[in-house]
Amino acid sequence: MLTYNPGEAVEHLRSADPVLARVIEQVGPFTLEPRKGTFRMLSRAIFFQQLAGPAARAILGRVLATLGADEENWYTPAAFLNATDEQLRAAGLSRQKLAYLRDLAGKFASAQLGEDGLTELDDEAVITRVSAVKGIGRWTGEMFLIFSLGRPDILPVDDLGVRRGMQIAYGLPELPKPDEMRRIAEPWRPYRSAGTWYMWRSLGVALPEQGR
């Protein structure tokens, strides 16, 4: 669940930024609903790295079927670790992603990471903790904060969709750099996550809560 009031967030954004107010009018209600499951969400993030949505969904579907799982009944760390490289490669996983997912499963199996161990940490501490997994960096940590932990004030300045959304909404001649993005989003505080969501939705970007 969100850790903030969505109606309060939207009202703040409307009053703080007239450009964003127009985007909100265009996009409609704020419907972000964080999805539960730390292992599941971090696994999905790895599956979708550097792949177009349809390709990633196809590979994910084959891996889930190989492990006797589905979107509603996700595989366990042990199930992934017990599957052979040959099985998972046949489902379409690259060697690199297989290594990343095995590292993630291993950290959960050994209790270095847990389902409930991140909720009490502040944002930067969460990013640091999940970045200990191979293949997970700051961007994935920020997606986890927004779409799993429901944190209110995350601005992923490296996200191409957010950069493109800002360029279009604010009539910028080129994609904004991080410092310019922070300047634009300063009035959005303490609800930059909601402002970020509206930047994505203004472009029609598929998001995790839509079953991406």
Given a cut of 90, is residue 1 above it in pLDDT? no
Given a cut of 60, is residue 210 above it in pLDDT? no
Tell me how far apart the 2 most distant CA atoms of the chain are, in Å: 55
- Let me know if residue 1 belongs to a domain: no
Q: Are 117 and 137 in contact (CB under 8 A)?
A: no
Whole-structure pTM value: 0.88
Q: Are 183 and 145 in contact (CB under 8 A)?
A: no
Report the range of poorest mean pLDDT among 50-54, 69-73, 132-136, 156-160.
Answer: 50-54
CB neighbours of residue 172 within 10 Å: 14
Q: Are 112 and 38 in contact (CB under 8 A)?
A: no
Distances (CA, A) of 192 to 10, 100, 108, 165, 198: 10, 29, 30, 14, 10
Residue ranges making up the domain that contains 85:
38-147
Write down the residue that tokens 């930059």 correspond to: 192
Given a cut of 60, is residue 211 above it in pLDDT? no
In a shared domain, residues 160 and 64: no
Amino acid occupying residue 184 = I
In a shared domain, residues 30 and 72: no
**Radius of gyration in angstroms for the set of CA atoms belonging to the chain, rounded to a whole number:** 18
- Let me know if residue 95 belongs to a domain: yes
Q: Greater confidence, 175 or 205?
A: 175
- Let me know if residue 172 belongs to a domain: yes
Given a cut of 60, is residue 42 above it in pLDDT? yes
